[in-house]
Amino acid sequence: MPSDPRHPQAPDKPLPRSLRGEAVWPPPVWLMRQAGRYLPEYRAVRARAGDFVTLCTTPDLAAEVTLQPIRRYGFDGAILFSDILMLPWAMGQGLRFAEGEGPLLDPVRDAAGLAALRPQEALARAAPILETVRRVRAGLAAEAPGTALIGFAGSPFTVACYMVDGRGGGAFHETRRLAHADPDLFGRLIALLAEATADYLVAQAEAGAEALMLFDSWAGLLPPAQFRRWVIAPTEAVARAVRRRAPGIPLIGFPRLAGPMLAEYAARTGVQALGMDTAMDPRWAAGAVAPDQALQGNLDPLALIAGGAALEAEARSILEAMRGRPFVFNLGHGIEKTTPPEHVAALVRLVRAG
Ligand code: 1CP
């Protein structure tokens, strides 16, 4: 059945079928951060690019590293090579990736900082990233016609964590303090991000993305009332805009470490699929979301480093829990850079054997 009006000849691919609620078996498989430093061919291109932002904004190079893991492993999904922080960058916020320090941004903490952002220019500045989407889609058509292209963005809350604190690390005290102390200012940042994120995801769908993912890596930091206000409500707004403006393109929500709040997130945001983090019990999740909402996840990235019998046991237990329902095999968080590439090949073989 044709699934995409812009590509009427394309057969429906396993990944979007699962994400739309079909119990495809064996399940489609891809891995978060599948393009990255565990692959020697990535390290070579990364060295050629020099800095990370240049890599993300040079369509030839970004498309090449997106396709590298597809050539090696034949994954069902190719995730656009970019970063959740490229949206703040496109809105004019200073961003650099310091060696060994991770991302550093010029923090936005007051009304003047908020007013200095230029969301109306974001799509124009993101043009090279959208060009990468077009090139990857064309590359997949030629090289891997069964692999679907996944576009993505960070959730408003998780992106705000980096914008306000100005760095990663996982504590985000400035952001969490601001959300309590000045909910009016923080709410304006979240609203601005929700709109810009929807525009950015729709633009990726128009450029050829066949599924979309919203990374909410730090959702689990919030107490329930704040989770409803800063995670569920803005995600619902993004999902509504995507449904209206990119109909038929499934959206995966990934509220990492949300625990029992996953149930409310699944019921209220309107996302088609839910990413499960490493700590989530897949059987519990299957009872917490609607039967036609796909689940994705959630192998421990450390089991993938370990390999062998431990990897096999963990992977099989997830497959058994998910059999018979819409499911996409993935990790519970990004692949680690010390992962032996041959363990990834063994995992894909195991999943494909059902
Ligand atoms: O030098 C390098 O190669 C930089 C390492 C790297 C890579 C490979 C960064 C810096 N980003 C990426 C790519 C990336 N990031 C992708 C695309 C490729 C793929 O998945 O194969 C995606 C989807 C992301 C998403 C991302 N970036 C998230 C959400 C997922 C997650 O891991 O929780 C987050 C939180 C980021 C921020 C970020 N970018 C980079 C780093 C090191 C970090 C984390 C910083 C921190 O909080 O400590």
Confidence of residue 214 (pLDDT cuts 50, 70, 90): very high
162 tagged catalytic: yes
46 Cα nearest atom in ligand 1: 3
Number of other CB atoms surrounding residue 110 within 10 Å: 12
Per-residue pLDDT tens digits for 178-195: 999 999 999 999 999 999
CA distances from 82 to 21, 65, 106, 181, 344 (A): 27, 10, 20, 33, 21
Name the residue at shortest CA distance from atom 47 of ligand 1: 168
- Does any domain span residue 10? no
Q: Tell me, what's the pLDDT at 100? A: 81
- Does any domain span residue 216? yes
- Ligand 1: residues with CB < 6 A are 32-37, 46, 52, 79, 81-85, 97, 102-103, 152, 168-169, 215, 217, 334
73 tagged catalytic: no
Q: Using the predicted structure, report yes or no on whether residue 6 has a pLDDT greater than 60.
A: no
Q: What is the CATH number of the domain that holds 99?
A: 3.20.20.210
Residue 215, C-beta contacts closer than 8 angstroms, at least 6 positions apart? 84, 152, 153, 154, 155, 158, 254, 256
Q: Tell me, what's the pLDDT at 101? A: 84
Per-residue pLDDT tens digits for 23-32: 999 999 999 9
How far apart are the C-alpha atoms of 52 and 83, rounded to whole Å? 9
Q: Which of 20, 73, 76, 83 is catalytic?
A: 83
User: What integer best gives the mean pLDDT of the chain?
Assistant: 96
How far apart are the C-alpha atoms of 19 and 250, rounded to whole Å? 6
Q: Please, what sign has the CA dihedral across residues 336, 55, 210, 67?
A: negative
Per-residue pLDDT tens digits for 135-154: 999 999 999 999 999 999 99
Domain that holds residue 209: 39-231
Please give the average per-residue pLDDT across 212-217, as a whole number. Answer: 98
83 tagged catalytic: yes
Name the residue at shortest CA distance from atom 4 of ligand 1: 52
- Does any domain span residue 175? yes
Please give the average per-residue pLDDT across 330-339, as a whole number. Answer: 98
Burial of residue 353 (CB within 10 Å: 0-12, 13-18, 19+) is: exposed
Let me know: does 70 contact 141? Beta carbons within 8 Å. no
Confidence of residue 46 (pLDDT cuts 50, 70, 90): very high
Q: Tell me, what's the pLDDT at 11? A: 57
Per-residue pLDDT tens digits for 55-103: 999 999 999 999 999 999 999 999 999 999 999 999 999 999 988 889 9
Domain count for the chain? 1
46 tagged catalytic: yes
Q: Measured in angstroms, how far is the CA atom of residue 219 from the centroid of ligand 1?
A: 16
Q: Measured in angstroms, how far is the CA atom of residue 229 from the centroid of ligand 1?
A: 25
Q: Tell me, what's the pLDDT at 8? A: 47
Name the residue at shortest CA distance from atom 42 of ligand 1: 102
- Does any domain span residue 267? no
Looking only at Cα atoms, what is the longest distance across the chain? 56
DSSP 3-state of 97:
strand
DSSP 3-state of 2:
coil
